[in-house]
Chains A and B, each alone.
Chain A
Amino acid sequence: MVEVFRHDVIIVGGGGAGLRAAIAVAEADPSLSCAVVSKVYPMRSHTVSAEGGTAAVARDDDSLEMHGFDTVKGSDFLGDQDVIQYFVEQAPKELSQLERWGCPFSRNEDGTVATRAFGGMTTKRTWYAADKIGFHMLHTLFQTSMQFDSVVRYDEHFVTKLLVDGDQVRGVVALDIRTGNIKLILARAVIVTTGGGGKIFPFTTNGMIKTGDGMALAYRAGVPLKDMEFVQYHPTGLPGTGILITEATRGEGGHLKNSQDERFLVDYDYGVGNKAELGPRDMISRAIVQEIRAGRGIAGTYGQYVHLDLTHLGKEKLESRLPFVLELSRTYVGVDPVTERIPIRPVVHYMMGGIDTDITAGTQMPGLYAAGETACGSINGANRLGSNSLTECLVFGARAGEEAVQFIKGTDEGNAAAIQAQGEEEAARIDSLRGRQKGGEKISQIRRELNTTMEDGCGVYRMQDSMAATVREVASLRGRVSDLKLEDTSKVFNTELIAALELVNMVDVAEAVANSAVQRKESRGAHTCEDFPTRDDENFLYHTLCYFDPAGPRIEKKDVTLGTWVPEERKY
């Protein structure tokens, strides 16, 4: 028998977007019970590792219009302009509130919040806390959420299924990792905030937990994933581990250099103009790959890399503005940025795509909302600007919470017997997977093959034939992942079982990425197709929707909402 729990709103995921949503629900109506269900303790969520800052207009020389245009242009005109306008309007309010909740932002001399330059942004609008904004944002939100008695946490609970009845979401099935028991957690609205799925790639800044769980939950429930072909490579990851070295290093004046000691973004034409190192991430990642292809990379244990040079910034500035970069470089590559250049190479960082949402954070399924990296609203279009994503967590986390509170007023709880039956069926599925001896496939092997094919087909540069090969390979892995062999039969804290469930989610997300990529025969933002090197607005100015189908994914198109800004050539 599965245990049943009831709440008014369920939030799946306890990172930046989820905690912001929880606070929004609690503030809107303290009589509502709001469950936060997360596979980790909330302070472990991957929001924690964001470094450089979070964007909102702050200075007198800035405007909402400028933030809006920068974001639209950064998106290669695929972002929805109504959603972007709402986003830039809400951004200063949300970040101000985060400040009032205690976030230790770095300060100007007059005591106002300091801002720094970031890639693709016209002026300094990135609020920062040295180089640990994600850590401070997450802890501030988590600690702030603790004052609300109406927020009930299910820490270390892994959600395996959305419960759907009458085409409406009714709750979730969750595996209590601590006990191994299955719980039915029911509510009239569910907000998915589980972040991205960078771990489908072999070389990523993402933590182990980023397996695209929420995207897969929605996908399997029939909700489309949008614009999944757009995967952001961050230009500066540490070779080997993929650990992120923040864009703030360049915001503070750092230079990228090749083996000839040239500032290649200045010395060669990569389309970033006088922005140089402060160009957008997609362009700079391509530039680094081109430098390596041209033989101007530096050979290392983990392949070719280029240099990030901070030595001219001086010890004092590095220690006050970029202390975490010093710690990471010294600890993980044995390099002291005060006197030495940091080896870096492009690394999978962020998914622009996600669960198809609108300006309300709502999905196509009544009662189901999504926010943060899991969602695709879309403000990021084909390429996200650095420091917009944390703000996005706040703006759309809050909106999702507020909308959910409104939604539940006008709806019932669905057919209890049907929901219970779905839960029992899911519980049986999980129980049969635990310690499944009869299978023939090993988790780490399937994961490795998935990683390899995703990098081969969906890397910085893509080709039609390699994408098509990845589509076929992922389809084959979908079959094999249903035949896993598991060793651990224990009920308590069985992380092998979790890894198996995560691997299935990763295959779902990889399927959406590869199938969305292969049909976009143009180059736009992070999707760079060598067979089709230019942007083609006539045929491809649309959002890709990818629907789950047991027979293979189905692709549909959705209009992009244009507005003030007419698509033009994207040059800096």
Chain B
Amino acid sequence: MATKKTFVITRFDPDKDEVPKTQSYEIECQDDWKVLDAINFIKDEVDSSISHRWSCRMAVCGSCGMMVDGEPKLTCKTALSSYGDTVEIEPLANFPIVKDLVVELEGFMDKFQRVKPWIISAKDEAAKKAATTMKEGTNRQSSEELLEFKQFSMCINCMLCYSACPVVSNEPDFLGPAAIALGHRYNMDNRDDGAAERNEIFRDEGTVFSCSYANECSEVCPKGVDPAAAVNQAKFNAVIDWATGFVVERGGAK
């Protein structure tokens, strides 16, 4: 079964346009299409000058986030059937537009790197590096210890949370939900010893306290990461860390 729908798509070429405009496309849509399928159809068959990002079409590469009828959505995971005859497609809010549906990610990439998203630890590294077997070469981690951070390691960097966040739009320096969740993910990993460094970043330059508990980020997250929980836990830990001068112990043993 096919249904006719009209897509109102944001168009913007910085070399020609002062401000973004829109262009409408009416196409036949298959009932099992995701929103991305319609955009790809238009790109392939109707107007090849539209620019958008996508790749995996299975909700894991994080490329295809866009505003669909005003809400940030991962378009490859969003069923078209739940929308009406006219669907508005815009680039993700709270990001500068590069072209059409493509937004600027450099600011996010800087924030991402600022939280030091890698294991900061020197525990027996030399001995483990020299080992030739799994048992000698790896850390022990219980399933409970894994659960402390696992959820926050599931972020696909799709940026929907930045589009939804009321603070991001007002405070450009705010690290934002995904970056804080990522830093917090490493802080909660029993293999890591970098919490003090990251908490300092959270407290000082990262303005982690700007978060206003709106919870919008967790509501739009397509992967159930719950960045709002991460931000609030990170805030708490950063304060305790500052107040007591040492890092809060995690649930599990080191």
Contact = CB atoms under 8 A, between A and B. Distances in A.
Contact of A99 (B118, B138, B192): B138
Interface stretch (A42-50, A462-470, A516-524): A42-50
B56 A207 contact: yes
Interface in A472-513: 486-488, 490-496, 499
Nearest to B77: A331
A394 interface: no
A158 to B, nearest CB: 13
Interface stretch (B82-90, B141-149, B207-215, B236-244): B141-149
A30 interface: no
Nearest to A135: B60
B56 A46 contact: yes
Contacts of B77: 331
Interface string A313-336: 000000000001001100110000
Interface stretch (B46-54, B160-168, B226-234): B46-54
Nearest to A488: B49
B44 A444 contact: yes
Contact of A40 (B13, B43, B55): B55
Interface string B149-160: 110011011000
Contact of B137 (A93, A143, A209): A93
B48 A486 contact: yes
Interface string A341-374: 0000000000000000000000000000000000
Contacts of B56: 44, 46, 48-49, 207-208
Given A146-B117, A490-B16, A93 B55 contact: no
B14 interface: yes
A244 B59 CA distance: 12
Contacts of B102: 493
Interface string A90-115: 00110111011110111101111100
A37 B173 CA distance: 28
Interface in B186-208: 186, 189, 191-192
Contact of B51 (A56, A113, A327, A495): A495
B142 A107 contact: yes
Interface stretch (B2-10, B20-28, B124-132): B124-132
Contacts of B54: 208
B105 to A, nearest CB: 7
B62 A178 contact: no
Contacts of B47: 487
Nearest to A51: B60
B45 A444 contact: yes
Interface in A104-160: 104-107, 109-113, 127, 132, 135-136, 139, 143-144, 146-147, 155
Given A58-B134, A96-B138, A46 B99 contact: no
B142 A111 contact: yes
A456 to B, nearest CB: 21
Given A104-B146, A243-B57, A490-B99, A496 B138 contact: no
A47 B192 CA distance: 25
A102 B191 contact: yes
A240 interface: yes
A173 to B, nearest CB: 22
Contact of B141 (A46, A111, A147, A488): A111
B58 interface: yes
Nearest to B131: A96
B153 A92 contact: no
Given A56-B134, A102-B192, A104-B146, A48 B60 contact: yes
A443 interface: yes
A104 B53 CA distance: 28
A241 interface: yes
A270 interface: no
Given A146-B118, A444-B44, A490-B99, A41 B141 contact: no
Contacts of A241: 57-58
A46 B56 CA distance: 7
A92 B63 CA distance: 32
A531 B130 CA distance: 51
A492 B98 contact: yes
Contacts of A243: 57-58
A15 to B, nearest CB: 11
A277 B170 CA distance: 55
Contacts of A113: 134, 138
Given A112-B138, A132-B154, 4 more contacts: A96-B128, A132-B60, A146-B112, A495-B52
5 contacts: A92-B137, A104-B146, A147-B118, A443-B44, A487-B48
Interface of A: 40-41, 43-46, 48-49, 56-58, 89, 92-93, 95-97, 99-102, 104-107, 109-113, 127, 132, 135-136, 139, 143-144, 146-147, 155, 178, 207-209, 240-241, 243-244, 301, 324, 327-328, 331-332, 443-444, 486-488, 490-496, 499
The 9 closest A-B pairs by CB, nearest first: A96-B137, A111-B140, A488-B49, A207-B55, A493-B99, A444-B44, A143-B117, A58-B134, A207-B56
